[in-house]
């Protein structure tokens, strides 16, 4: 799938992995719609990108919000052909402790944003892509979701996050199979430890220790590296139905 001159939607695009992906797609010539609940950051990013970029305030769990963002991207020259689902939240809590069980509302919120929200964006974006004329390779669009290595090696206190990202990983292949006949590809990236706002609250020495736990390179991943892989998935026709780990050979320990 050619990036230059096509419409791209980045849900959760105001910061972190999503912002880096929006920048990378824009630099390659895409017309980018950044959708996020963070209006200040999202609008600032779109303004910084300038021409071929706009911001749409959207809560990924709300169908009407995402539908509006999809419609804005579909109105771009070439139609909506690239959809990146990067919205996500985290919550740390064990299943049960002496003070009581894991909060149900907290678990539901993480699953609602990370899993249901990803599916919401995927279903609406892919439905819009059905209206596209196929390109020379027969493609109508590419959807890239964001999983996590926590889907495979969730740590202590990560049960909600791991469950949500496990769902994203698990739905990748059936989604790709559902849409294959229409020329729409679906993949997911499972990042390891990345230097994003989710880790920004940690002290610098703690972040450095996390980076040193990565076999090679012994550092936190850079959002630009995630964005580079996302763009490669778009451009590589044979990548479909895959969940690709981007983790420097890291396998997470229990804690």
Q: Which of 161, 164, 179, 184 is catalytic?
A: 161
Residue of 23, 21, 83 lying closest to 48 (CA atoms): 23
208: Cβ–Cβ under 8 A, 6 or more apart, which residues? Answer: none
Q: How many degrees, rounded to 5, is the angle at CA 171 between CA 167 and CA 172? A: 120
Q: Where are the alpha helices (DSSP H) in 154-235?
A: 159-180, 197-200, 204-212, 223-235
CA distances from 3 to 57, 77, 80 (A): 24, 12, 11
- The helix (run of H) or strand (run of E) holding residue 19 is helix 16-27
CB neighbours of residue 56 within 10 Å: 23
Best CA proximity match to 49, nearest among 30, 23, 29: 23
CA dihedral of 61, 62, 66, 71, whole degrees rounded to 10 = 160
Active site residue 161: yes
Residues designated as active site = 161
């Amino acid at each position: 799938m050619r990036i230059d001159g096509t419409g791209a939607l980045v849900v959760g695009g105001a910061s972190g992995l999503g912002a880096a992906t929006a920048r990378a797609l824009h630099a390659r010539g895409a017309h980018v719609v950044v959708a996020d609940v963070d209006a200040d950051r999202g609008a600032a990013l779109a303004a910084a990108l300038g021409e071929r970029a706009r911001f749409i305030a959207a809560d990924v769990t709300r169908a009407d919000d995402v539908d509006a963002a999809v419609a804005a991207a579909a109105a771009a020259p070439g139609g909506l052909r690239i959809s990146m689902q990067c919205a996500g939240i985290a919550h740390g809590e064990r299943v049960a402790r002496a003070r009581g069980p894991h909060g149900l509302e907290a678990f539901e919120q993480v699953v609602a944003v990370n899993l249901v929200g990803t599916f919401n964006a995927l279903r609406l974006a892919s439905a819009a892509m059905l209206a596209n004329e196929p390109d020379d390779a027969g493609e109508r669009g590419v959807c890239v979701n964001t999983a996590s290595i926590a889907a495979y090696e969730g740590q202590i206190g990560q049960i909600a996050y791991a469950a949500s990202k496990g769902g994203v990983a698990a739905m990748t292949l059936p989604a790709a199979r559902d849409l294959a006949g229409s020329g729409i590809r679906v993949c997911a990236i499972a990042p390891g430890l990345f230097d994003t706002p989710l880790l920004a609250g940690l002290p610098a020495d703690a972040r450095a220790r996390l980076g040193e736990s990565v076999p090679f390179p012994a550092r936190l991943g850079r959002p630009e590296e995630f964005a580079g892989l996302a763009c490669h998935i778009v451009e590589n026709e044979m990548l479909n139905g895959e969940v690709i780990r981007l983790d420097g050979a890291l396998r997470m320990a229990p804690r």
